[in-house]
Structure 1
Amino acid sequence: MTHAYDASSIVVLEGLEAIRKRPGMYVGSTGERGLHHLLYEVTDSAMNEVVLGSAGRVEVVLLADGSARVTHDGIHERPLDHQLTVLRPATRSTSDRRTVSWYDIGLYVVNALSDRLLAEEWRDGVTTRQEYSCGKPIAPPHPTGPADGTGTAITFRPDPEIFETVEFDRPALAARFRELAMLNRTLDVVLTDERGEEPHTERFHAPDGVREFLTQLGADPAEAVVVEREDERMGGSMEIALAPAGDGEPQVLGFANSRRTEGGTHLVGFRDGVTAVLGKGARLTAVVSVKLDEPSYEGCRREILGNTPVRACVAEAVQHALETWRDQHPQRAAALTAR
């Protein structure tokens, strides 16, 4: 006997049920990648407040009970309870180039995939508290006392029934926060791990921006050529640092809106600019970061930037900067292609 398949056979999952039933659709996986995705969503939301100027510092604490707490001293424009209980559409505003976030699952999904979430907000002289379990409110937002200053703290514990591991990898988190600090020079992030016998604290702040990134890649920042330009033709800005690779292996890293890319028009444009001045054999280490109002990517993994105007804009800026550098340092320029 066969069963007919019709509209009555379709099960529509909505809201919390959909997220908890198919978590991989929202955070990528139920392994460590998805676990970190949750934390990055909360931290990126807080970091945006710093980059946009409404907050000064972000503090991330890995707590002994497996929870993570993210605190900042700014004020959210949208009500916090609305962010935690409404799934926002995956759209972006034209101010995105100034923010660090490229995730877009929203705090709602973090709430849905946490077995416990506590949100505290300090504003207008009042401390407001709200608690949730698996995305459902335990109690409505309620005042708990006075408040000095402003700020928000979100403490969440990933649901062990959803994730294969609920143990955050501190070195992996530190690497990402360090990278974001170098790509967004106004960021100030403190990461504390309280899970060991002694707390471990690191601060990530890179006022020299991508120039400091060159140090991480083994190049000498003192020899760096830095390109910073806003270009409305590509609908965004660029920040590029390059230096001779020296005895090390040349490396060129690309980023679009603070997301690591494997290729794309920004990297092609960089190579065009370098080749026009130094030829194809130039041994350089570089960081090429662009921030766009409307980034367009090739493929579902969004690893290749596709915005066509970016290529010409980056090539022009790099060529001009290198021509100036070459004229000032002809011997050093010649040495780049001598090997």
Structure 2
Amino acid sequence: MKYISSLLRAAAVTAWLACGLAQAADKVVVAGWSQPITEITNLLVEEDKGFFKARGVELGYVPGAGGGDAIRNMLTGQATVAFTDPGSFFAALDKGEKLRAIYDIYPQNVFNVVSLKSSNINKPADLKGKKIGVYSLSSGTRQNLLVLLQQAGLTEADVTIVVTGLLNFAPLMQGQVDATAATDTGLLVGRQKGLGEVNVMAVRDHLNISSDLFVVTEATYQAKKDVLKRFLAGYRDSMAWMIANPDEAAALAVKRAIDGKNPAINREVIQLRNLASVSATTQARGLGALDMAMFQKAADSYKQLGMIQRDIKASDVVMQDLLPPK
């Protein structure tokens, strides 16, 4: 009887400890710039792989339509961390928001402007007077289009911007716009849907700034450093897995991503994101490390473009002390 009683007590203690461990998991909600799509498969497979759970983090995701949405959703308390582009980050800082960038998700610029061969749009200057599609007015497609226009001495006033929606090349194919700003993965999907012969102007050929960052408020950065460190460690684990296992990631995207029906296309999309996640800086210091000189160049370029009014000092707004060791 004593033996059984001891077993029951031990079971109760075990259950109590398990309950305590479950309660110890800190929730981190990511405000995304998109719906749950294939290119963020590493975030979508938490139920399958448990990268964040292993770090004591319960992961959540709030979809959005552009980097500006991601920041707004974070600022309104719907999320802990924003998955956003540098342009949206700069714009929020320019408005006086107290934010910090803590991880460089994609150090390579993945944005482009695409036009049909028949339009004879071959260089940024050819965009003058044209209708150009963007995902949304708060997306990195618009911000990077303005960067490209600057190369030809043009501004937003020299073109007509049309909101066409995410990954939507139909308006271009139907002649509703002369060109469309997109990403490398968007172009891949467009080609799979019969886009045909196109001219592609890659923004990285002019300014290879990061495409996306993890951004938090100053208050969150100060109050939740331990949680954020564990979140970033979980994210780096998930990204390292996707880089090392693109076939497994492509297969899981079939059930986790809203656009992931075709494993072969999934793999191509995933491979593009894997390539965008590495750079000379990340090779030296680990995934997520940010090139401060390039970031400063980007901030200066956005001010020169007139997209922001304030000077932004990289060392004031980029914090790399939360990054996990390489």
Q: Same fold (TM over 0.5)?
A: no
RCO greater where, 1 or 2, for CA within 8 Å and sep 6 or more?
A: 2
TM-score in terms of structure 2 length: 0.23
Give the TM-score, by structure 1 length: 0.23
More helix by share: 2
Larger Rg belongs to: 1
